[in-house]
Structure 1
Amino acid sequence: MGLKGKVIAGLGEGRHFLSLQQYKRGFLDVLGVEPYEGTLNIVLREEDAPKLLEIKKDAKIKISGFAHEGKEYCGIKACKAKIRGSEGALVFPGINMHPAEVAEFVCAENMREKYKLSDGDEVEVEVLG
């Protein structure tokens, strides 16, 4: 299944969460790579937004929540995906601050740098399961 959309600026929170060792280990365990400390945010086309809800519902990858320095961090569901040849995952945090039509992609690389992506650039997400 493919999803199309445009790159948008994120909230800056992915960088913090993906810097935490528990999340890094979780992604390393399930994806085989340590994630770049940040997500690529994509606002999906109107016709693709409902597909994202189905993908979230069917997501098989789970990273457990944890406590760290007196704070509780929620679990994450994920689904393997690929953008422009870079394999990673669409991630669905237990608490999500994004609108329903925004997808978050995690992989080992800084996607903006690798592919010279800017806000508004179109990308296609290939969902791998």
Structure 2
Amino acid sequence: MAFSKSFAREVPGSNMPRWEEIFLTAQEEREREQVARQENMYLMRQCIADAKVVVKNEKMMDIQSHILSIAMCLFKKRASHAVFYKEERCKDKFQRHFGILQGLKDSRSLAVKAPKKIGSEKKAEEQKKSKEKK
């Protein structure tokens, strides 16, 4: 079964987006899985090296099972799953098919907004600005 992902596309004259489903070919899916596999192997090696450092710095017994346990915990936090790479490929196909501008608009809407400043921060900033004006 081929991998697919749905994306919202604006339709002129309508308030509701139209959902377009993008499918990967078998070859594209295998390529993405290969990228994920290589990335995960690299990450696992890094995690093992980091686990060895943790064991040494914490003066723990240098036992392989301890190192591997720590490495697995680190790996679970760091690992990028194959689904991410497949979704990324679907997004590329969507943007090519329906236009780059639509894709850019979508990526801008996902941008992280700066947190609102609380009262004390606003006052401090206003005082700083008034000092700069003087």
TM-score by length of structure 2 reads 0.26
- Between Structure 1 and Structure 2, the one with more helix by share is 2
Higher Cα Rg: structure 1 or 2?
Answer: 2
| Higher relative strand content | 1
